[in-house]
Each structure stands twice: as structure tokens, then as C-alpha cells.
Amino acid sequence: MEDIKKKVQSWWDGSPCCSRIASAPRGTKEFYEQVDLYKDTYEPFTNIVADYASWKGKRVLEIGCGIGKDFSRFVAGGAIATAIDMSIESLKLTKERLKVFGLNGKLCMADAENLPFKNNVFDLVFSWGVLHHTPNTQKAISEAHRCAKPGGKAIIMLYKKYSLFSLHCLLLYCRRRKDYASRDESLAAFTDGEGNPLSKVY
């Protein structure tokens, strides 16, 4: 189990979320703006679901912050925000993003299956496209529930087998390849990039 987690960590260290999209040097204002433009163009619904400004003054935990697009928006909206990630490089890029845009938030390296927080702490636990990359996704979801306050909220997005994106992958990419034994393996390969050691669909 720990071996696969190390592989996942290593993969994301080498390829932080959407970092290959940008042509600008990593860690620059232009780099973050290019990544955000891409994400906002192809995933505009994330902003609607997250509703960043509505969490002003509330305690927010993001599980798997990547390079900090959503996290920085929670912070900018006035949330008391904390983010975790297993990837050292992702945390470095998130830290640099906060610095570039003059924001402050708490970051820590942690495992989604073993969150380093007490029970009933956060008003919102947010995790977008992350928990399908950990071996025991159910345990990670249970941890999110444990850390949320009674009456709090969790927003968790997992990859879905039967979605427009899945259909897009199958029609344009997966049918050309014979390397994957199943539909699930094909979708996993084309969501975050070939070589990702663990990516599940539900």
C-alpha cells in the first residue's frame, strides 16, 4: 500500500496538476494565470460549485490542492483556509502562488487517508479530482467526514465513468489505443496523463 502511495507522490511531484499547460516559467504570475485560464475554460463549473466567496470567515480544508487554483480563491474570498497535498512540488508551487498574489493560507504535506486534524474542525472540506488517486478512497472520504463540523459540508469530485468527458476520451483517444485492457484503464490513462500510477473512475 505504501509503495503505491510513494509512486503516486513521485508522479505528481514530476507533473503537478496542469503545470504542463502553461508556457510561462513555473512560479511566475503568468504561469498561474495561464493555468487558471485553461481550468476556467474547460472546468467553469468548479467555480460555481465551490462558491469561494460564500466561505468568508469559515474554516475550509482542501484535500489535494495541486498548484493552488481553488485554494487561492478560497483564501482570496476570505476563508480561513488550510490545504494539504502529498506532492512536495505541488505544495511549493501553491506556496509561491500565494506569495505572488499576496495571499496567506496554511499548507501542509499530508496523506488524505490519515488527515492530521482533530474531529469536527472545518465548515467545508473540499477535494476536487483528488481522492480517486489514493488506494483507499473510502477511507479518505471517511477522514473528510471526520474533520468536518456537524452540519458542515463536504464537496468531493471523483472521476465518473459515464460522463461527457469520459465519452470524449473514448471517442477521440482511447479507441486508438490497444495498450489498456479495460474501459476504466483507458479513462484513467487519459484523465491526468499516461504514466499516472493510480487513477480510478466511478
C-alpha–C-alpha distance, residues 176 and 171, integer Å: 9
Strands of 94-147, DSSP E: 106-109, 122-128
Place of cell 502529498: 86
C-alpha–C-alpha distance, residues 196 and 71, integer Å: 23
Is 141 in contact with 156 (CB distance < 8 Å)? yes
User: What is the assigned CATH class of domain 2-157?
Assistant: alpha beta
Model's pTM, two decimal places?
0.89
Is 180 in contact with 174 (CB distance < 8 Å)? yes
What SS3 state is found at 119?
coil
C-alpha–C-alpha distance, residues 108 and 111, integer Å: 10
Q: Give the mean model confidence (pLDDT) for residues 190-195.
A: 66
Is 196 in contact with 186 (CB distance < 8 Å)? no
| Residue 20 or 100, more confident | 100
Per-residue pLDDT at 182: 60
pLDDT single digits (tens) 120-179: 999 999 999 999 999 999 999 999 999 999 999 999 999 877 766 666 666 655 555 555
pLDDT single digits (tens) 60-90: 999 999 999 999 999 999 999 999 999 999 9
Q: Tell me which DSSP letter residue 150 carries.
A: E
Domain ranges (residues) in the chain: 2-157, 161-202
Is 27 in contact with 96 (CB distance < 8 Å)? yes
Structure confidence at residue 198 as a pLDDT band (50, 70, 90): confident
